[in-house]
A and B are shown apart, each in its own frame.
Chain A
Amino acid sequence: MMNKTDYQYNFAFLDENTKREIRRCIIKAVCIPGFQVPFASRELPIFFGWGTGGLQITLSVIGKETVLKVIDQGDDDSVNAVNLKRLIISTTNIKTTEDTKEADIIQSRHRITEDSLTEEQIYIFQVPLPEPLRKVEPKEIETRRMHGEKDYGKMYVKLYEDILHHGEITIGADYPALVNERYIIATSPIPRWDVPRLNLSENLFLFGAGRERKIYAVPPYTKVEPLSLEDYPFRKEDFSGKECGICGSRDSYLNELPSEDDNGKSYVCSDSFYCRTNKLKSKDGT
C-alpha cells in the first residue's frame, strides 16, 4: 500500500454505497418538506463546519455532465467557494460556471443568488446549525419531540420576548420559517432578504448539515412562511437610499465596506455574478 503513490480516489470522492445512502436521505427529505432527516455524515477533506453537509449532497447527486456553481457570501471567487470547487473538480473533472442560469447545481453558503432559479436547478445550502429550536432548547431529544408534536410555543414566546425587550424581533440571518405549514426550519443562515425566495420557488432547495448530520429540503412550489406576529410582520434588511458602488444596483443585497472616504462606508452587491452582469447591462444601456 505504501508504495502506491498514485492513489486514485473514486468519482466524487465518496464511495458509491455512501452516495446511494445519502441520496436515499435526500429523497426522504423531499417527501417530508422541512423535516430534518438524520444521516451518517462522513468526514471529508474539508473541515466540518466549512460546508461538508452541502458538499456531501453535491457529491452524491453530481454526474459527469453536471454543470456546477459554488458561491460563498454570494461570491464565486471567495476562498471557501474556490476551495470547495477545487475538491469537486479534482475528483470529478466536471464543468463549473459562474453563470447562475447555466448551472445545474448551485452550492451556496449564506446566500440565494439574486437571479431567479428554474425547475431544472437544484440549490444546495451548507448549514452549520440545522436546528431552529436550538435558540430556545439546547437538547436534541427535546427539540425532536417539539418538532414531532408541532410544539412550537417556545419559539413564538421568544419572538414575543424580543419585542417586549427590544421593540422588535432581533433575529438577523438564519430567520426561522415554517415549511408546508408543518415544520420550522433554520434558513441556512441566509439573510432575511433571501427568505421569501424559498416560498413557492420553482427549484428544489436542499439543506445539508455535515457536522450535525442532518439533511432537509424545501421542494418546488412549497409554502415557506417566515415566523412573525400579526402586529410585528417579518421585515427584510433595509437598504433604502443605498446602492452598489460597482453596478449601481438598488435592489440587491449589499455588503457594507468600511472605507476612509465616502462618509466612512460604501456598498457593494454580495452576489458577484449578478453585479457583473448588471454592470454590463447598464453600460450597454439595455
Chain B
Amino acid sequence: MGYIGVKGGKDAITNSEKTVDYYRKKNKDKPVELEQIKNQMRLAVDKVMSEGSLYCPEIAALAVKQAEGDLLEASYLVRAFRSTLPRVGYSIGVKSDEMFIIRRISSSFQDIPGGQILGPSRDYSLRLLDFKLINEEKFNADPPRIENENISNEPDIFKPMEKVIDYLRKESLLEYPVRNNNKKPYDITRDQVNMPLERSARLQRLTRGEEGAILAFGYASMRGWGSVHPTLAEVRVGYMPVKIRHPHWNFEVTIGRITATEVDSICSFKKDTVVSESGEKEIKYNFTLGYGFVFGHNDKKAIAMSILDRTLSEKENNSPVKDQEFVLYHIDGIESQGFISHLKLPHYVTFQSAMDRLRSMKKNVFHEDKELIASYDE
C-alpha cells in the first residue's frame, strides 16, 4: 500500500528561515543601520510604534529592519516583544495643550487663535517622483527659514495653545465628554475584553488598529454607511511630555516625550433632553465630537479614528460601522493577519471530518435532490 507522509519538521523550518535571511543578504551590500531607519523612515517607524502599541523608535526601527520593510510584520514583532514587559505603572494623562506643536491646522475656521502651522506635510505637494533622490549627497539640513519680516522665525509655539474645541464649548455649541473622574481608564492589554466596551477601551482598540482597516471603516462611514462626515476642528502634531507620579514623593516627574497626532472632529448635532434640578425638562442641541490620537505623525489614521470614535458612540446601531463588535474585533492588524495566515496550517483532520459528512449526506440523499448530487459530482 502506497504511502507518502508529508511532514515539515524541524529542518524544513530552519532552512526556510535561512532562506529568508539569504534573501535579505544575497546582494553584496552594506547593512541598513537602525539610525538610518529611525531618521529617514520616520513615518514607517511611527506606524510600527502605533500598531505595535509600544513607543520606542529604536525597537520599531529594529523591527522594520528585521521584517524587510513589511510594516505589519514589524508591528507584530513589536507587539510580541511588548508581551515580555511587565506593566510597572501608568502615566498621568497627557495633556495636548502641553504639546510642543510642529503642525496644527483647522478646517472649521479661517483663522484660529495661535494660528495655523502646516509644518511637515505632504498635503499640497505634487506626487511627482523625485529622481534627484537617486543620487543624494550626504546631508545635514537646517530647518527652513521664512523670508518675511512680519513673521518671526522663533514662533511662540512653546506656550500652551488653546484648542479650537475649547472655543466651541465656550460658545455652548459642543457637547462635553462624559467624565468618569474617579474611574481608572480601561487597559485593554491587561483587562478582560468584554463587549460592549467603554469609550476609553474603544479608543485604545482604535489607536492600535491597522491603518488600512481604520481608513476603510472611516471611509465607509463617510460614504453613507454611518453618516458621519465631520469637519475637522483641529489636527495637531507635536511632542508631548509624558509624566508619572513619583512613587515615593508623589510629585509629577517627566520621564520622556512622545510624538503624537491628535484630531478633534466636529460631527453632526444631536438633541439631548436634560432634566434640571427643579425637574424641568430642557432640550439641548449640540455638535458632537469625535476624537483621534495616534503615536507618531499620521494625520489620516487619526482623522479616520476620530470618525470611528463618533460612529461607535452613537446609540442606535443601524450600520456596520456603528457596531462595536464589527469594527473593534476586525481592525487589529496583528489579529487579522494571524488568523488569515492560519489557513496555511494543515487542516487534514477537520477536512477528513467534513468529507465524512458530505459522503454520508450523498449516500442518504432524498430522491428529489438527485439533480443537486449530479452537480456535486461534476
Of the candidate stretches A70-78, A97-105, A113-121, A176-184, the one touching chain B is A70-78
Check if A270 sits within 8 Å of B58, measured CB to CB: no
Q: How far is the CB of A212 from chain B (nearest CB, A)?
A: 9
A2-B34, A167-B361 as given contacts; A191 in contact with B350, CB under 8 Å: yes
Assembled-state Cα–Cα distance A91/B352 (Å): 35
Of the candidate stretches A61-69, A148-156, A253-261, A278-286, the one touching chain B is A253-261
Check if B350 sits within 8 Å of A189, measured CB to CB: yes
Residue of A nearest to B75 (CB): A43
Assembled-state Cα–Cα distance A213/B188 (Å): 11
Among A43, A79, A245, A261, point to the contact of B83 (Cβ < 8 A).
A43
CB neighbours (8 Å) of B365 from chain A are: 166-167
Assembled-state Cα–Cα distance A9/B58 (Å): 18
Check if B352 sits within 8 Å of A268, measured CB to CB: no
Q: How far is the CB of B96 from chain A (nearest CB, A)?
A: 28
Asked whether A140 is an interface residue with its Cβ less than 8 Å from the other chain, the reply is yes
Check if B3 sits within 8 Å of A238, measured CB to CB: no
CB neighbours (8 Å) of B79 from chain A are: 43
Which bucket holds chain B's interface residue count?
Answer: 35 or more
Assembled-state Cα–Cα distance A261/B1 (Å): 8
Assembled-state Cα–Cα distance A86/B9 (Å): 11
The total of chain A residues at the interface (CB under 8 A) is 74
Assembled-state Cα–Cα distance A168/B34 (Å): 60
CB neighbours (8 Å) of B349 from chain A are: 73-74, 110-111, 173, 190-191, 253, 255, 270
CB neighbours (8 Å) of B34 from chain A are: 2
Check if B7 sits within 8 Å of A48, measured CB to CB: no
Interface string of B55-66 (1 = CB under 8 A from A): 010110010000
* Residues 4-34 (chain A) with a chain B CB within 8 angstroms: 9-10, 13-18, 21
Check if B7 sits within 8 Å of A47, measured CB to CB: no
Q: How far is the CB of A189 from chain B (nearest CB, A)?
A: 5
Check if A17 sits within 8 Å of B335, measured CB to CB: no
Asked whether B354 is an interface residue with its Cβ less than 8 Å from the other chain, the reply is yes
Q: How far is the CB of A24 from chain B (nearest CB, A)?
A: 11
Assembled-state Cα–Cα distance A262/B4 (Å): 13
Check if A255 sits within 8 Å of B348, measured CB to CB: yes
CB neighbours (8 Å) of A45 from chain B are: 80
Asked whether A38 is an interface residue with its Cβ less than 8 Å from the other chain, the reply is yes
CB neighbours (8 Å) of B82 from chain A are: 43
Check if B342 sits within 8 Å of A49, measured CB to CB: yes
Asked whether B191 is an interface residue with its Cβ less than 8 Å from the other chain, the reply is yes
Q: How far is the CB of A66 from chain B (nearest CB, A)?
A: 20
A2-B34, A15-B84, A50-B338 as given contacts; A80 in contact with B353, CB under 8 Å: no
Check if A261 sits within 8 Å of B84, measured CB to CB: no
CB neighbours (8 Å) of A138 from chain B are: 325
Interface string of A238-265 (1 = CB under 8 A from B): 1000000110000001111101111000
Q: How far is the CB of B194 from chain A (nearest CB, A)?
A: 6
CB neighbours (8 Å) of B335 from chain A are: 48-49, 211
Check if B338 sits within 8 Å of A82, measured CB to CB: no
* Residues 284-302 (chain B) with a chain A CB within 8 angstroms: none
A9-B84, A13-B83, A213-B193 as given contacts; A48 in contact with B352, CB under 8 Å: no
Residues of A at the B interface (CB closer than 8 Å) are 1-2, 9-10, 13-18, 21, 38-40, 42-45, 47-50, 52, 72-75, 77-80, 82-83, 86, 109-111, 128, 138-141, 144, 166-168, 170-174, 189-193, 211, 213, 237-238, 245-246, 253-257, 259-262, 266, 268, 270
Given contacts A49-B341, A167-B365, list 13 more A-B pairs with CB under 8 A.
A2-B34, A15-B84, A40-B193, A43-B334, A72-B346, A73-B347, A82-B8, A82-B13, A109-B345, A110-B350, A172-B356, A193-B353, A255-B348
Task: List 9 contacting pairs A-B, 8 Å CB cutoff, sorted by A.
Answer: A43-B76, A48-B335, A79-B8, A86-B10, A109-B345, A140-B329, A144-B195, A170-B357, A213-B193
